[in-house]
Structure 1
Amino acid sequence: MLEANHENFRTVLERRGAYAKSLPDHVWFPRFFDESTIDGVAIETVEVGRLPVPSGRIVLADPFYFTAEFTQPLRRRVPPGDYPVVVAFADLHTWGRRVAYARLQFSSAQIVSWELAENTDASELNVFIGVDSGMVCFADLDAAHILSRALKEFELNRPDGNYYDDVLARDIPADANWGEHRPDSGSPLSVILTSSGLGDGVYFAYWGLDENGVPAELVVDFQLFDKNGSVCRSN
């Protein structure tokens, strides 16, 4: 395993870039939720909460981009329900305990294929998740609108404040790398946040489809592994 330093970080970024360009020829995601050690890296899965999706429409984004016009719901819809969010942590030694994947699961059906998740934005921004705060958020479309409104109201009423420090930090334990946030105490809707691998970047999400082409899960890939193992490997 590479030691975490500036020189090795360049190698990791190069591997992440090469991996991203090879998509959708990606690693097989389910093994990271079923196995405890992969390519010599310890993996731990944690159910971090259940996401209410009453509208059947899902938004995936950096939570601080929820006010941006390009933050739109995914094209595919799912049956309204309450679904578990599970994160797969990788112990990358000096790189730390990092979130490698985050999964929203709709059923236990066997996955037979993967499809790149696109949102409804009309531009080329509809196929990736841009991250600038080190976090990604799962939200129902209605919850996304509530969070967007909360962010705008906070900025208007507290221009010298910081929504993360003053609000979100209460819902994200310092040692957990994830949290469940209810942007409006008067609404039962919440959003689930998780840290994004090694931090900021451009990430992709995939629908795991069953034999009938129905989504069984939605996985966000934080590019910590490629087909050769961890991107922090020493060779």
Structure 2
Amino acid sequence: MSGWLERFGFGLGRTARGLRRSIFVLGLSAAIPSPAMAADWDPATASSNFGIFALSDAQLAERKITVTSIGELELPTGEIIACDPLITTDDWPARARRVKPGHYPVTLFEAQGRVAAAFLRFRPGIPVRWELATLPGQDVSTLNGDEIFGYPVDAGLGSFMDKAAMALMSAAQDKLKPDQNYYDDVLAAEFAPNQDRFVIHRPAAGNPVNIAMFWSGWGDGFYPSFWGLDAAGQPVVLITDFGVLENADGRESDQAK
């Protein structure tokens, strides 16, 4: 694993039924499988919720899942960062796959009083296949079983943003006084109208570049993101799964059928 991956804490995580817990691996580890074992790794082992995009409004309601549109994300470079926005630096890595620059809608799946997943939609339709949204230097062929690549959350928040937005937010943080912090003194008032669940934040006044921020499921942990692709291999959605849903069902396990 390269030096910057170690520095940012991007290691391996493992999934568990109905739970995603943080297991950070810095540097090479005996947990990394042999190539023969890694060939069996499948995105479906990391999330059971890809079928959610094929559900009707009635099916989502039956499964106690609420769909909330929160606004459009500006992507001037098409280099997307998915991360906890409060533990970032201006050299935080973007996903290896890029998209066409533009502005794209951000939507939340909510269940059990939590943000269960967040996704960016790039085009209409239902994805026909899925792949883990890796960072440069990450190789899914090194994964086995329930291992995942994802991002660490330490402030209870996830986000999507363009690489350009990260630099703007870093500059805004540098302007804070020593006794200030970005959440309490900048973000809290913006989150409040949405019951602290989400916000589309502009780190630089007068600049349209923004950041979509939202609760991260049950809070701190380690969460994977996935590209949903069409038949031509083009991105339809980018989703971060926060481990609240199971089998695209938002009901608590004793209520699900």
- TM-score normalized by structure 1? 0.79
8 Å contact 2:81–2:94 — kept in the other structure? Answer: yes
Residue 204 in 1 paired to residue 224 in 2? yes
8 Å contact 2:18–2:244 — kept in the other structure? Answer: no
8 Å contact 1:59–1:140 — kept in the other structure? Answer: yes
Q: CA deviation at 1:23?
A: 6.3
Q: CA deviation at 1:205?
A: 0.5
Match of 2:5 in 1: none
What secondary structure does 1:220 align onto? strand
Match of 1:234 in 2: 254
* Whole-angstrom distance in 2 between the partners of 1:38 and 1:175: 22
8 Å contact 1:58–1:139 — kept in the other structure? Answer: yes
* Residue number among 217, 226, 230 corresponding to 2:237 in the alignment: 217
Match of 1:160 in 2: 179
Match of 1:5 in 2: none
The ranges of structure 1 where at least 4 consecutive aligned residues each deviate by more than 3 angstroms after the TM superposition are 32-41, 121-124, 227-232
* Residue number among 75, 79, 86 corresponding to 1:53 in the alignment: 75
Residue 195 in 1 paired to residue 195 in 2? no
- TM-score normalized by structure 2? 0.73
Shift in CA distance, 54/66, structure 1 to aligned 2, threshold 3 Å: same
Structure 1, unaligned stretches of length 5 or more?
A: 1-12
* Residue number among 10, 16, 19 corresponding to 2:19 in the alignment: 16
8 Å contact 2:158–2:213 — kept in the other structure? Answer: yes
Q: Deviations over 1:25-52 (max 9, x none)?
A: 2324352674455595411111101001
Q: CA deviation at 1:175?
A: 1.4
* Whole-angstrom distance in 2 between the partners of 1:16 and 1:75: 26
Q: How does 1:87-166 map to 2 (within 5 A)?
A: 87-90=108-111, 92=112, 97-120=113-136, 127-154=149-176, 158-166=177-185
8 Å contact 1:16–1:223 — kept in the other structure? Answer: yes
Percent of pairs identical after alignment? Answer: 34
8 Å contact 1:53–1:80 — kept in the other structure? Answer: yes
What secondary structure does 1:150 align onto? helix
What secondary structure does 2:109 align onto? strand
What secondary structure does 2:214 align onto? strand
Size of the aligned set, in residue pairs, is 211
* Whole-angstrom distance in 1 between the partners of 2:90 and 2:78: 21
Q: CA deviation at 1:160?
A: 1.0
Structure 2, unaligned stretches of length 5 or more?
A: 1-15, 24-40, 143-147
Shift in CA distance, 175/51, structure 1 to aligned 2, threshold 3 Å: same
* Whole-angstrom distance in 1 between the partners of 2:106 and 2:190: 16
Q: CA deviation at 1:153?
A: 2.8
Residue 181 in 1 paired to residue 201 in 2? yes
The one-letter amino acid paired with 2:128 is V
* Residue number among 70, 94, 98 corresponding to 1:73 in the alignment: 94
Residue 169 in 1 paired to residue 191 in 2? no
Q: Deviations over 1:53-95 (max 9, x none)?
A: 01011111101122175x31000000111100010111x2xxx
* Whole-angstrom distance in 1 between the partners of 2:248 and 2:120: 25
* Whole-angstrom distance in 2 between the partners of 1:201 and 1:174: 23
